[in-house]
Amino acid sequence: MKLLSLLNEDNNYQAQLRNDLNAYLVRLKANDIGTVGTEMMVDELNDMGYSVTPESLVDMLANSKYISKVTLDTIDLKGAPSVQGQDADKEKEKVSKLAIKTAQKRIK
């Protein structure tokens, strides 16, 4: 009985983690952010109370319908425009601003 209860808790934890992760990815895409740092995503999820490592995040996102490419360094969203030249600089600036905004929220 206790084993079944523990298994159900683990399933609920995994489902909630996936839901929160997908919601976060959708928000990024809605804000026209096509690439995000894996470490930044891990920090966000850990701040939400989950226990996630970059390696586990890469494993979770390997078959995600929202992801075109995931590595230990970056997460590229599917359908995001590929950026080159000045657009790449704008994209990096946008991600940088989001990271700064997130860091400032954590400090408050």
DSSP type of residue 93: H
The secondary structure of 30-62 as a DSSP string is HTT--EEEHHHHHHHHHHTT----HHHHHHHHT
CB atoms within 10 A of CB 68: 14
pLDDT value of position 71: 92
pLDDT value of position 72: 93
Strand 67-70 versus strand 35-37 pairing type: unpaired
Whole-prediction pTM: 0.64
Q: What is the pLDDT along the chain (108 residues), one digit of tens a residue?
A: 565 555 556 678 888 999 899 888 888 888 888 899 999 999 999 998 999 999 999 999 988 888 999 999 999 998 755 555 566 677 777 877 877 777 777 776
